Amino acid sequence: MIEAAALPAPVQATLLVGVILAQAVALYVGYGALERVATPLIETIANAR
Amino acid sequence: MEFLGLSLPLLALFVSFGFMVGVLFGFFGMGGSFLITPTLLILDYPASVAIGSGLAFYFGTSVIAVLKHYDVGQVDYKLGAILFVVLSIGIELGSRLVFGLEALGIANLVTGIAYVVLLAGIGALFLRRASKLDDEDEAEGEDDVDDDEIPAVGQKIQSYNVPPMINLTSGGRASLWTIGGAGGSVGLISGLIGVGGGFIRMPAIYYLIGTPLTAAVGTSLFAGLFSGAFGTFTYGMSGSVDLTVVSLLLVGSALGARIGSAATTMVEEDDVIIYFGIMMVLASAGIALSELANWLGTGALDLVSVLLLVGSSFFVASMILYQVIQSIGAAESDARATPDGGD
């Protein structure tokens, strides 16, 4: 649960929306980068077998 | 031992469950929040927290879906904006209803029953579709839907002139009352049981408001993103969103959605659709058992409920992953057998 008790409820709720938005963007970009790095690596390993 | 306020088994459960829901979401194109909320209910989270966290998870997956389809096809922005307003009003009313039911001590029961009906209904629809696949194969092409065509029901509803009328980008006109009724009802369901509602929002836009299919998909995604944000905000105002749970689910789901989406090019949806229908029926039975256990005042059935709900989605996601591995293996065998491409 969000425990930013000092902040008013609307600010806490807006922060919550912002955090989830930022997390979703970061995960999308992060996994995308991982895919770009991992795919050629896996293909190289598979071809070497 | 605890991490982020959760025991390690529970932490692993949320990440892996998020992953499996992500695989299903990527493969079948459904948000999956309708699996998250009942699971949290069975794990004894209060109804408002289960619903709020379900909506927050839906918002996160919507952001990822919009990023993935950044050119969301054809979007009727005016209709999307009106829908956002009426969806938000519906979500607000739904959330007030949940807090009222919680004050009466029956929120978990009402939400549980709503999920039993909803999941069983979706499951029955998918099983019916699976049973008709052979007939569809025989009549292939006969009932192909033109993406730019407005359905007959939508055209009929649009023919009633109840002012104020709104001009749609696709060329038709829809009454503000129709948009308000359709969007408000979907929003109310979203706010009441914590689902994104894409599986009812898109058909409502297509059939009731009457837009072409491509515009319905894009407009549904556009309105859903903002209504998801509003739902998160509404439940966040009362501290009813468990950010730790939502974050763990999103970590697994974002990865699973990529794999599920890639799997659509290797596995035929028709091959696994029957398992998806069975999963929904089992999930519905799991929630019914949980409600029965609460009514009987025994926790003995709780484990069976979790196994049915979580286990069935793990099973279907595993089936998809298994078919992907088989398909890769078969492709490699073919490549070895015909190194020159078969010439």
Chain A contact probe: residue of B19, B63, B227 with most A CBs at under 10 A:
B63
**Inter-chain CB proximity A2 and B238 less than 8 Å:** no
The structure tokens 């299919």 sit at: B213
Q: What is the pLDDT of residues B259-296, one digit of tens each?
A: 887 787 777 767 777 877 888 888 888 888 877 877 77
Q: pTM for the full model?
A: 0.76
- Nearest-angstrom CA–CA distance, B275 and B262: 19
Please report which confidence band the pLDDT of residue B170 belongs to, taking 50, 70 and 90 as the band edges.
Answer: low
The confidence score (pLDDT) of residue A5 equals 63
pLDDT-derived band at A23, boundaries 50, 70, 90: very high
> Cβ atoms within 10 A of the Cβ of B7, count?
11
CB count, 10 Å around CB of B185?
Answer: 18
Between CA B6 and CA B192 the distance in angstroms is: 27
**Start-to-end CA span in chain A (Å):** 49
% residues pLDDT > 70 (chain B)? 84
Q: CA dist A13 to A5, A20, B30, B47, B229, Å?
A: 11, 11, 26, 18, 10
Phi/psi for B21 (5° steps) reads -65, -40
Q: Which residue has the higher pLDDT, B200 or B323?
A: B323
Q: Do B236 and A19 touch (CB under 8 A)?
A: no
Strand residues in B129-221 grouped as ranges (E):
165-167, 173-175
pLDDT digit string (tens) for B127-168? 887 777 656 555 554 455 555 666 677 777 777 777 888 777
Cα B85 to Cα B36, B81, B88, B183, B299: the distances in Å are: 25, 6, 5, 9, 42
Q: Which of residues 2-41 of A touch B (CB under 8 A)?
A: 2, 9-10, 12-14, 16-17, 19-21, 23-25, 27-28, 31, 35
Q: What is the CA radius of gyration of chain B?
A: 21
Task: Give residue B138's pLDDT.
Answer: 54
Q: How many domains does chain B have?
A: 1
Could B67 and A28 be called an inter-chain contact, meaning their C-beta atoms sit closer than 8 Å? yes
Q: Which has the minimum average pLDDT: B38-52, B87-101, B296-310?
A: B296-310
For the cut 90, the answer to whether the pLDDT of residue B249 exceeds it is yes
Residue B336 lies in a domain: no
Please report the ipTM that was assigned to this predicted complex.
0.84
Q: List the domain range (segments joined by +) for residue B166.
A: 2-135+145-327
Spans of all domains in chain A: 8-48
pLDDT at B57 (0 to 100): 92
Mean pLDDT of chain B: 79
Query: What residues contact residue B156 under an 8 Å CB cut-off, 6+ apart?
Result: none
- B36 in A contact zone (CB under 8 Å): no
Residue pair B285/B308 in contact by the 8 Å Cβ criterion: yes
Nearest residue, CB atoms, B56 vs list A12, A20, A46: A20
Higher pLDDT among residues B112 and B150, named by residue? B112
